[in-house]
Amino acid sequence: MPVMFSASGPGSHVHMSTTPRLTALDALHRSLGATMTDFAGWDMPLRYGSERDEHNAVRTRAGLFDLSHMGEITVTGPQAVDLLDFALVGNMSTIGNGRARYTMICREDGGILDDLIVYRLGETEYMVVANASNAQVVLDALTERAAGFDAEVRDDRDAYALLAVQGPESPGILKKLTDADLDGLKYYAGLPGTVAGVPALIARTGYTGEDGFELFLKPEHAEGVWRALTEAGADAGLIPCGLSCRDTLRLEAGMPLYGHELTTALTPFDAGLSRVVKFEKPGDFVGRKALEAAAERAETAPPRKLVGLVAAGRRVPRAGMAVVANGEVVGEVTSGAPSPTLGEPIAMAYVDAAHATPGTEGVGVDIRGTHEPYAVVALPFYKRQK
């Protein structure tokens, strides 16, 4: 199932500039009054109006995001899948044509370099989507690990714009603009089609905890598609959304964010994501030995566990704050924010196994010297009704 347009050719772009990079929609965001922020070297919309309104629109209706800062890397060739099986911790050879998989790329010592989504676009063509902050690192690692494989690693960050329409109304909105079979498109699958008359890869993926779609298209088509989606979604209550509400949406959905819940200091076993590591796949892969050791350690001495914390009061915990119990530090907050859906402050934190059971009493967060009480809960905080 080849994608319907090809990327711009071998990437020789090195993104070292100190000036923030602009997406194809930069002028449009500014015309909509967006508050812009520097994010991973890109000028991105943080919010257009109220973060709470944008968050609630995605939960109840629909929101439209520009995610063109994400890093697309194409891997092609007769041994593309062998390279990916060696370079990543997951089993890439079992991805069906037109399907996608969540996975990770680790260092030799098992530390997480990034979490990724890999799309299989064709018989020997895969697209790896990396986080914006790690795109160069992932590109460099894949290029280095490609030595000896009959495969090409191509930097396609400039070849794609990425728009996301997320929320319960998103299927109805997108149906107005495409004849692609959205009803038959499963979660974590992608198919080539046209949206508002231009070619796109339509993927049923997202980072909000809601149903939704991510649309990979040529940058020159981004503005036309954004305007068409805005018009198609007007009656359904679609509004433009910035990165700020994307963060509270993913936090409520218990989704990890690189640099917070995932770092090079953690293995997938430390992060509670052992399911992404596939030891049963054939052949060696980068980090296998270290990850086997991490898996054994997790059996005998459970690492700190990622849990949810819900505030008893109003004070908001932030990343890096200590989690305390009986006057001792038992963990660390990785992400925290007021939850628009729950109506109270929430956080994700790594805590010692002894304090990780939902309902554990006596746990607090040290917020500027005061130990604020928090309830330990299972993740996610929010799960949509199917």
What rounded mean pLDDT belongs to the chain? Answer: 95
Which strand ranges, in their side-by-side order, compose the sheet holding 21-22?
21-22, 42-47, 35-39
198-222 residue pLDDT tens: 999 999 999 999 999 999 999 999 9
pLDDT for 365 equals 97
The residues that bridge with 72 in the sheet, in sequence order, are 129
Q: Is the pLDDT of residue 338 over 50?
A: yes
> What whole-number percentage of the chain has pLDDT above 90?
92
The band of 275, judged by pLDDT with boundaries at 50, 70 and 90, is very high
The band of 10, judged by pLDDT with boundaries at 50, 70 and 90, is very low
User: How far is the C-alpha of 141 from the C-alpha of 105, rounded, in Å?
Assistant: 9
CB-CB neighbours of 161 under 10 Å:
24
Q: Is the pLDDT of residue 7 over 60?
A: no
Residues 6+ apart with CB under 8 A from 231: none
The band of 13, judged by pLDDT with boundaries at 50, 70 and 90, is very low
Summarize the confidence of residues 333-358 as an average pLDDT.
97
Summarize the confidence of residues 297-303 as an average pLDDT.
89
Residues 6+ apart with CB under 8 A from 314: 344, 345
Asked if 195 and 51 count as a contact pair (C-beta separation under 8 A), the reply is no
Residue positions counted in the chain: 386
Q: Is the pLDDT of residue 14 over 90?
A: no
pLDDT for 185 equals 97
SS3 breakdown of the chain: % helix, strand, coil, rounded to 5? Answer: 25, 30, 45
Q: Is the pLDDT of residue 232 over 80?
A: yes
The band of 302, judged by pLDDT with boundaries at 50, 70 and 90, is confident
Q: Does domain 21-68+160-252 have CATH number 3.30.1360.120?
A: yes
* CATH code linked to domain 304-386: 2.40.30.110
pLDDT for 385 equals 86
Summarize the confidence of residues 319-345 as an average pLDDT.
97
Q: Is the pLDDT of residue 319 over 50?
A: yes
pLDDT for 16 equals 54
User: How far is the C-alpha of 172 from the C-alpha of 182, rounded, in Å?
Assistant: 9
The band of 5, judged by pLDDT with boundaries at 50, 70 and 90, is very low
User: Which pTM value belongs to this model?
Assistant: 0.94
> Residue 112 is encoded by which pair of tokens?
């997480």
Summarize the confidence of residues 58-78 as an average pLDDT.
98
User: How far is the C-alpha of 294 from the C-alpha of 42, rounded, in Å?
Assistant: 35
Summarize the confidence of residues 77-92 as an average pLDDT.
98
145-180 residue pLDDT tens: 999 999 999 999 999 999 999 999 999 999 999 999
User: How far is the C-alpha of 386 from the C-alpha of 384, rounded, in Å?
Assistant: 6
Angle between the N-to-C axes of helices 135-145 and 80-87, in degrees from 0 to 180, rounded to the nearest 10: 120
The band of 18, judged by pLDDT with boundaries at 50, 70 and 90, is confident
In single-letter form, the type of residue at position 254 comes to G
pLDDT for 230 equals 98
Q: Is the pLDDT of residue 6 over 90?
A: no
Summarize the confidence of residues 231-251 as an average pLDDT.
98
Q: Is the pLDDT of residue 284 over 90?
A: yes
Q: Where are the domains of the chain?
A: 21-68+160-252, 304-386
pLDDT for 12 equals 39
183-195 residue pLDDT tens: 999 999 999 999 9
pLDDT for 17 equals 56
Residue whose token pair is 């890109």:
42
DSSP for 207-252, please give it. SSSS-EEEEEE-GGGHHHHHHHHHHHTTTTT-EE--HHHHHHHHHH
User: How far is the C-alpha of 326 from the C-alpha of 335, rounded, in Å?
Assistant: 23
